């Protein structure tokens, strides 16, 4: 009996230890299940469906888009003239100041033309003498003709008188030309502005000797109207030529200074050759510049819209995704699943991408695409993001209508 009691007392503690361990495992399992459910509820508040990705979407719109081209331009004078003397003389008077605006025909300089005036007087005197000699020869010719009719002189004598008259008439014409030459030379003493514009530096003063092959007296630069020179890639040449042939092509020029409005002008020149080094075509636009805001040498940003894409499909530029091979859009199907649709991007402008490969009205993912894979199920974003998406869609529609 003693041995049996000892065996029972030895086995009983082990059995109790097993029961205790089993209970502890059950408690730990219940606690783990409760913790997992609590975390799931915290990660999915308000009973949201697990597995759906929140995104912001927009519809594919269709409309006409004016393709706007931009380039860096340089303001250049429409024309610049260097004023030079045409005779060697001393400067008698300077009628302008440096940096002055002059009109065409305004007096700039007066030269000392006493020598030219004397030459003109000499030529005019010679002309008077020639006329007197010619008149005398013509009277003599008439007498010779009368004598010839009366048979008092020979034909040779009459021919001599006729030749004398013809020679004096030729000499009279030569001296008349000499008078005109002297008058022109004297007129060079008054130097007038050949164009309207702004004068440059003046390096001569009264008393300075000037010569035709010497330095320019002054330069005049036309400021109004004024040109802006710029270049565009050669692949835009065809559209530019078509627009230029149809009529006036509007061009705008924006100054770098803040608060300055863009100036409106027109395309005035398309170069007759493409630059082989850069693959670009040189162009010029003409702008009215009555307020002198544009100045030669300034840098501006030029924009023009030579052609329009009709019936273009547009989406927000954020919706375009870049894949390993080509660009694509996440298109939302009727079952709220997304599919990756490859597209061809023709133009990116004003926050919009003009694309090919989808149909109007399709909804595409604009925000949240980084969490998607083809076949992912999506749901529209919360209120704040939804309002943001609606604003983006409204802005997209407004830009499409404006274009």
- Distance separating alpha carbons of residues 103 and 94, to the nearest angstrom: 16
- Among 16-20, 334-338, 374-378, the minimum mean pLDDT is found in 16-20
Ranges 146-155, 169-178, 307-316, most confident = 169-178
Backbone angle region of 26, left / alpha / beta, with phi > 0 → left and psi within -120 to 50 → alpha: alpha
Half-sphere exposure of 23 (CA within 13 A, CB side): 6
DSSP character string of 350-373: TTEEEEESS-TT-EEEEE-GGG--
- Among 18-32, 188-202, 362-376, the minimum mean pLDDT is found in 18-32
Judge whether 102 and 220 are in contact, CB under 8 Å: yes
Q: What is the DSSP letter of 194?
A: S
Judge whether 68 and 372 are in contact, CB under 8 Å: no
How long, in residues, is the chain? 403
For residue 19, pLDDT over 50 is answered with: yes
For residue 307, pLDDT over 50 is answered with: yes
For residue 355, pLDDT over 80 is answered with: yes
Q: Any idea which residue has 């925000």 for tokens?
A: 367
pLDDT-derived band of residue 369, with 50, 70 and 90 as boundaries? confident
Quick one: average pLDDT of 134-157? 91
For residue 35, pLDDT over 60 is answered with: no
First to last CA, the chain: 108
pTM above 0.75, yes or no: no
pLDDT-derived band of residue 72, with 50, 70 and 90 as boundaries? very high
Q: What is the DSSP letter of 49?
A: P
Domains of the chain: residue spans and CATH = 53-65+311-402 (2.40.420.20), 69-78+225-309 (2.40.30.170), 82-220 (2.40.50.100)
pLDDT-derived band of residue 309, with 50, 70 and 90 as boundaries? confident
Judge whether 248 and 313 are in contact, CB under 8 Å: no
Rg (CA), the chain: 48
- Distance separating alpha carbons of residues 287 and 303, to the nearest angstrom: 13
- Among 28-37, 296-305, 375-384, the minimum mean pLDDT is found in 28-37
Sign of CA dihedral 328, 329, 333, 338: positive
Angle at 245 between CA 239 and CA 251, to 5 degrees: 65
pLDDT-derived band of residue 368, with 50, 70 and 90 as boundaries? confident
% of the chain at pLDDT higher than 90: 50
β-bridge pairing 378-380 and 53-59? parallel
- When the pLDDT of each residue in the chain is averaged and rounded to a whole number, the result is 83
| Residue-wise pLDDT tens digits, 190-200 | 999 999 999 99
- Distance separating alpha carbons of residues 232 and 230, to the nearest angstrom: 7
pLDDT-derived band of residue 392, with 50, 70 and 90 as boundaries? low
Q: Which residue has the higher pLDDT, 153 or 110?
A: 110
pLDDT-derived band of residue 27, with 50, 70 and 90 as boundaries? low
Half-sphere exposure of 293 (CA within 13 A, CB side): 16
Q: E-assigned strands of 143-244? A: 190-192, 197-199, 209-210, 218-221, 226-233
Residue 100: helix, strand or coil by DSSP? coil
Q: ω into residue 225 within 30 of 0, thus cis?
A: yes
pLDDT the model gives residue 182: 92
Q: E-assigned strands of 161-262? A: 190-192, 197-199, 209-210, 218-221, 226-233, 250-255
Judge whether 202 and 191 are in contact, CB under 8 Å: no
Token readout for 217 is 């007296």
Quick one: average pLDDT of 6-27? 57
């Amino acid at each position: 009996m003693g041995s049996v009691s000892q065996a029972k007392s030895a086995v009983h503690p082990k059995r109790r230890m097993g029961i205790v361990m089993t209970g502890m495992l059950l408690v730990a399992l219940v606690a783990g299940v409760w913790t997992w459910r609590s975390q799931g509820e915290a990660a999915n508040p308000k009973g949201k469906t697990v597995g759906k990705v929140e995104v912001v979407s927009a519809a594919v719109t269709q409309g006409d888009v004016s393709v706007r081209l931009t380039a860096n331009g340089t303001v250049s004078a429409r024309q610049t003239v260097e004023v030079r003397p045409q005779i060697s003389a001393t400067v008698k008077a300077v009628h302008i100041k440096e940096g002055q605006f002059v009109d065409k025909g305004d007096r700039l300089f007066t030269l000392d033309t006493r020598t030219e005036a004397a030459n003109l007087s000499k030529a005019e005197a010679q002309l008077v003498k020639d006329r007197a000699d010619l008149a005398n020869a013509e009277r003599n010719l008439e007498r010779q003709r009368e004598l010839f009719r009366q048979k008092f002189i020979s034909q040779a004598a009459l021919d001599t008188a006729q030749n004398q008259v013809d020679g004096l008439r030729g000499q009279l014409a030569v001296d008349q030309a000499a008078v005109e030459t002297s008058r022109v030379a004297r007129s060079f003493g008054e130097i007038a502005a050949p164009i309207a514009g702004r004068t440059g530096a003046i390096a001569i003063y009264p008393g300075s000797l000037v010569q035709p092959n010497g330095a320019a007296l002054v330069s005049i630069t036309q400021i109004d109207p004024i040109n802006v020179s710029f270049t565009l890639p050669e692949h835009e040449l065809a559209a530019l030529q078509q627009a230029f042939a149809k009529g006036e092509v509007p061009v705008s020029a924006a100054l770098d200074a803040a608060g300055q409005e863009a100036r409106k002008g027109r395309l005035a020149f398309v170069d007759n050759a493409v630059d082989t080094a850069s693959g670009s075509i040189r162009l010029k636009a003409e702008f009215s510049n009555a307020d002198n805001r544009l100045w030669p040498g300034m840098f501006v940003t030029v924009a023009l819209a030579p052609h329009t894409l009709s019936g273009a499909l547009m989406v927000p530029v954020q919706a375009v995704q870049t894949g390993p091979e080509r660009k694509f859009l996440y298109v939302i199907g009727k079952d709220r699943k997304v599919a990756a649709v490859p597209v061809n991007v023709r133009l990116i402008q004003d926050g919009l991408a003009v694309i090919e490969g989808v149909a109007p009205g399709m909804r595409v993912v604009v925000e949240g695409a980084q969490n998607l894979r083809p076949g992912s199920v999506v749901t529209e974003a919360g209120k704040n993001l939804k309002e943001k998406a609606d604003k983006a869609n409204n802005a997209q529609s407004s830009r499409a209508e404006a274009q």
